Structure formats: C-alpha cells, structure tokens
Amino acid sequence: MTKSVIEVSDLVVEYQSSKGSVRAVDGLDLHIAAGEVYALLGENGAGKTSTVEVIEGHRRRLSGQVKVLGIDPAATGRDRRELRDQIGIVLQASGIEPEITAREALTLVRSPYRNPRTIDEVVELVDLREFVDQRVSTLSGGQRRRLDLAVAVIGRPKVLFLDEPTTGFDPSARRRAWDLISTLRAGGTTILLTTHYLEEAEFLADRVGVISRGRMLIEGSPRDLQQAHGQRVMSVDIVGGGSGVDEDLQAGLSQALAGVAEEIEWIGSRVHVTSSDTNAALERLTKWAAASGVILNEWSIERPSLEQVFLKVNSDEIEGDSRG
C-alpha cells in the first residue's frame, strides 16, 4: 500500500468572529499518497482554505492530527526547517517584492534550499524567458502567477501546495501550467490543489474531495464520482414514425422512460435523455422504438462533468440541511 505523504485525522479549526467562535473545519480526515494530485474542492466558506493553511503550517488548529512527510507542520526548530526544505507553496495572492526583477526574486528565494533548481532550469520549466529580467511591478497578473509557480518549484519540493494556481491565465498559459503540474507529478511530487476551475481538477487530479461546512462530502477519482453522483445525457435522432415525431410519439417515449429519465428534451427529431442509469434508459428506448416503428440514429452518450457532480452534491447537502 502506498504511504500517505499528507495525513490529516479529525481536524478541527475554529476562529473568532464578532458573533463568537466559528468552526471552519469540523473533524476532517484526509490522506494523500506519494506522487498523487489531490484536488480539494468546496464553495467559498466550505473550510478548504483553513484546512490547507493548517497543512502548510500557516494556521493553528484547535485539535486533530496533521503530518506532512511525517512531520507536524506546527513543529518548530529543526523539524520545521526540515519540512520547509521539502515543500513549495503557491498562495492565492503574490507576496513578492514588486521593485525587484523576477530573476532577483528567484535568486533570493532559492538561497535557503539545500538542493534547488538552477535559475535557468526554472525559467525554462515555467516559461519565464520573456520577462525574467523585468521588475515584478511591471508584470501582468498572469505573468506574476507564473512567477509564483516558479518560486514554488525552485526548491525541488516533494510536496507542492497550489491555491488557485492558474488565476489570471489565458487558456494557452493555463494549459502549459497543467502540463507542468503533470510533469511534476510524473517526477514523484505530491500535489494538493485547490481551484474554482472544475475542468482543471477533472484534468489534473487523481482524486478529488468535496467539502462543505468543514466536513468531507464525497471523495474519489473524478471518473468514480462522475459515475456515482452524476447523470449522463443520452442523445439520439428519431427517424420514421409516419408523419414524424408527433405529440403521441413523444408522450409514448415519456411513458416508456418513466422512472429512469430525470429529463427528456426534444429538439426537432432529436431527443436528449438525462439519466443516472443509461443502461435501463437504453433498454427501454430500444423497446419503445421497435414497438413504435421508428429507427434510432446517430447515438451519443456524454458523461457528466465534474462541475455537474460538484453542483449536485452541494445542492443535495443544502436540501438535506433544510429537511433536517
């Protein structure tokens, strides 16, 4: 069994507000294996930032156990120094001094590490060539984000924390960043990712966890979650049936699919059937077609996106709370 590089057990985080104590994380468990890309997802206020900040060592916890590479991130002294040498962090907001150049920033940041990448290596890796000698204050938002990523990987981290890493990127730059993250993963780097781009999580993550109110709702690979919680859309063109797809045919199909189709939408002679059980829907649809004297043509079945799963799970959570 692959050893967990990040281990979180029964984590509780609270902070004080004008209304008193607020529990941001409520007994969360999280285990991330070596070389895994794990995407932690949640709506604003779900507790994901508080969780990640504790794992990084930037926030105190009320209770629970946390280990990164076998070291408690709240440790001090030699253990803290040992951990800092092995992790990289991309924060939501850049904290780099604006009046120095990107090259000077990289030179400064790499100095404490025991085995850092060279400046030239990281410039090529993150594609900084065109602006590496410009002052940070002159860089665009996307360029600053690429510099943040370069700062995070210059120390050859074993564990990389990415908090909204591609904010401000155009589609081409985002795809290059994804390629870099995939390359780092292939080299054995463990990556904890938070992002509001659900396509990004679906593309990059080996596993995804969705949290709400500081508790884990669902966890698994993107494909497993799509199969377990999403709804597929089956699309087919109806050919024949005498005068075409009239109201009687449409009503007959609705009756045939009762109980297995969540939604049926007609666009001309083409029908789109949304269902969590496409096998049953397909069986009923073919039986209906044979009995109705029509031909089913130009099939397609689209699996749900991770975004659809995310929205459904959070909607179910809200409905459950309102019923409770």
The CATH number that applies at residue 299 is: 3.30.70.100
C-alpha 223/C-alpha 206 separation (Å) is: 9
**Model confidence at 318, in pLDDT bands (50, 70, 90)?**
low
| Host domain of residue 39 | 4-86+157-227
Mean pLDDT of 124-139: 94
Question: Which of 207, 227, 247 is the C-terminal boundary of a domain?
Answer: 227
The CATH number that applies at residue 51 is: 3.40.50.300
- Asked, for residue 93, whether it belongs to a domain, the answer is no
Mean pLDDT of 277-281: 89
**Within a 10 A sphere around the Cβ of 77, how many other Cβ atoms?**
7
222 and 249 together in one domain: no
298 and 209 together in one domain: no
Say if residue 154's pLDDT is above 90.
Answer: yes
Residue 292's nearest CA partner among 258, 243, 259 is 243
- Rounded to the nearest angstrom, the gap between the alpha carbon of residue 200 and the centroid of all alpha carbons in its chain is 6
- Asked, for residue 97, whether it belongs to a domain, the answer is no
177 and 238 together in one domain: no
What are the DSSP E strand ranges found in 51-197?
Answer: 63-68, 87-90, 159-163, 190-194
- Asked, for residue 283, whether it belongs to a domain, the answer is yes
Please report which residue ranges of 60-159 form alpha helices under DSSP H.
Answer: 77-84, 102-110, 119-126, 141-153
Say if residue 324's pLDDT is above 60.
Answer: no
pLDDT of residue 10: 97
pLDDT of residue 249: 87
The count of structural domains within the chain is 2
167 and 290 together in one domain: no
Say if residue 253's pLDDT is above 50.
Answer: yes
**Model confidence at 323, in pLDDT bands (50, 70, 90)?**
low
Judge contact between 64 and 72, C-beta under 8 A: no
pLDDT of residue 242: 45
Say if residue 243's pLDDT is above 50.
Answer: no
219 and 238 together in one domain: no
C-alpha 26/C-alpha 132 separation (Å) is: 43
pLDDT of residue 142: 87
Q: What share of the chain is helix, strand, coil (3-state, %, to 5)?
A: 40, 30, 30
Q: Which positions ≥6 away from 113 have C-beta within 8 Å? A: 85, 154, 155, 156
pLDDT of residue 301: 85
pTM: 0.81
62 and 167 together in one domain: yes
For 103, left (φ over 0), alpha (ψ -120 to 50), or beta? alpha
| Exposure of 272 in the CB half-sphere (CA atoms within 13 A) | 10
- CA distances 41 to 26, 161, 189, 236, 241, Å, are 16, 14, 20, 34, 47
pLDDT of residue 42: 92
Mean pLDDT of 182-203: 94
Say if residue 317's pLDDT is above 80.
Answer: no
What strands, in cross-sheet order, belong to the sheet with 270-275? 263-267, 270-275, 232-240, 294-302
299 and 181 together in one domain: no
Round the average pLDDT of the chain to a whole number and report it.
90
Any long-range contacts for 89-94 (C-beta under 8 Å, 24+ apart)?
89/56, 89/152, 89/160, 89/161, 89/163, 90/148, 90/149, 90/151, 90/152, 90/160, 90/161, 90/162, 90/163, 90/165, 91/148, 91/163, 92/163, 92/164, 92/167, 94/144, 94/145, 94/147, 94/148
